[in-house]
Amino acid sequence: MALATLTRNLAAIPSHEDETAAGDAIEAWLREETDAAVRRDAHGNVIARRGSTGGEAPSLALVGHHDVVPPDDAQVGPEGEYVIEERDGRLYGRGTADMKGAVAAALHAFRDATIDDLDLRFVSFAGEETGGEGARGAVADGFAPEYAVVAEGSTGYSGPGVTDVAVAHKGRRGSTVTARGRAAHASEVEAGENAIYRATEAVSILRDLEVPTATVLGHEVEGSLAVTEIEGGSAWNVIPERCVCTVDERTVPGERAALERVEAIDGVEWTVDQDLPPMACDEAAYAELVHAAADGAQDGSPAQVIKPHATDAGWLAEAGTTCVVCGPAERGEAHTADESVSIAVLERCAEIYRSVAERLPGAV
């Protein structure tokens, strides 16, 4: 099956509420197109394995996910199917870029790679868009390849149309700062404790916090911190007893901002709602190998870059897998109403993944 056709078929399957059908299609393709050992784990992940599986050879995983964010109304057909269209060498529709096109490219590479002395794996995770549920489950069950190429988008970072190699990405820690006070009538200010004032003290501390940085293979990764929502008060004439702030923190490998300092204020509590780990490639030789594969698959000159978004590579790296991110989606493509992916770049990425698998044995 041609790569564009496989992408179209996978992308047309709704998978924002239940990714089972998309996983079924991936599993069926693997069973029909390869002689790999294929399984579906308890988390909904599709995992396949071929090559030298005796434990002596290095292991490499080609990694994707088959869930998507909810589609825009224009991306859904009359029967609830996703509308996938081809125009000017691109496939348009929910999931084409993030990331069923990349899954299709990884499937082709997994099937087509001529491998010797390599334990080659393919995995498409469930639940990536909802906090990495599938990846976390697989890691907890012992999924631990030595190396991985996570096929999230890395195209267009160093230049238009160039597929780069991300050797690190930021994580995301989402937090809530809750300030509590004591309600009173606003005509008697002294009778209450103003939760909004306590919250603004906390915000002042957050604004002054040092944001960590890290260096990964010679590249600087800089975190960020922002208060993104604030809510408090119940009426114009009531001293507020509660005020809540949402904090978005982009984390870097090795350090976190000291958000706990806000709890030095009376009545202020800090809680972590989500903590998606950052990723840092820990082997320069592997990063160079993938970079060489990317360079050989395109006319442009790819670079090693830093990706600002968290991916399942964070969970794998945290478990000890040496990761890079390399994939067809371009900056700004994912999660949009006009999401699309270049068919030529899909073919390029399939070639990159195949080349990595064929170069890896004996190279690292």
Query: What tens digit of pLDDT does each residue of 278-320 get?
Result: 999 999 999 999 999 999 999 999 999 999 999 999 999 999 9
Task: State the pLDDT at residue 116.
Answer: 85
What count of other Cβ atoms lies within 10 Å of the Cβ of residue 187? 8
Chain centre to alpha carbon of residue 164? 16
Going by DSSP bridges, is the β-strand pair 171-180/242-251 parallel, antiparallel, or unpaired?
antiparallel
Task: State the pLDDT at residue 51.
Answer: 92
Going by DSSP bridges, is the β-strand pair 322-325/147-150 parallel, antiparallel, or unpaired?
parallel
Task: State the pLDDT at residue 1.
Answer: 62
pLDDT-flagged residues of the chain (< 70): 1, 364
Ordered DSSP codes for 181-213 = -B-EETT-GGGSB-HHHHHHHHHHHHHHSPPPE
242 with 215: CB under 8 angstroms?
Answer: no
Please report, in angstroms and rounded to a whole number, the separation of the first and last CA atoms in the chain: 33
Over the stretch 77-100, which tens digit does the pLDDT of each residue have? 998 889 999 999 999 999 999 999
Ordered DSSP codes for 282-324 = --HHHHHHHHHHHHHT-SS---EEEESS--THHHHHHTT-EEE
Contacts of 66 (CB under 8 A, 6+ apart): 10, 15, 19, 22, 23, 26, 46, 100, 103, 124, 125, 126
What domains can be seen in the chain, in order of their start residue? 3-169+278-359 (3.40.630.10), 171-276 (3.30.70.360)
3-state secondary structure of 354: helix
pTM: predicted TM-score of the whole model, two decimal places:
0.93
Structure tokens at 181: 């006070």
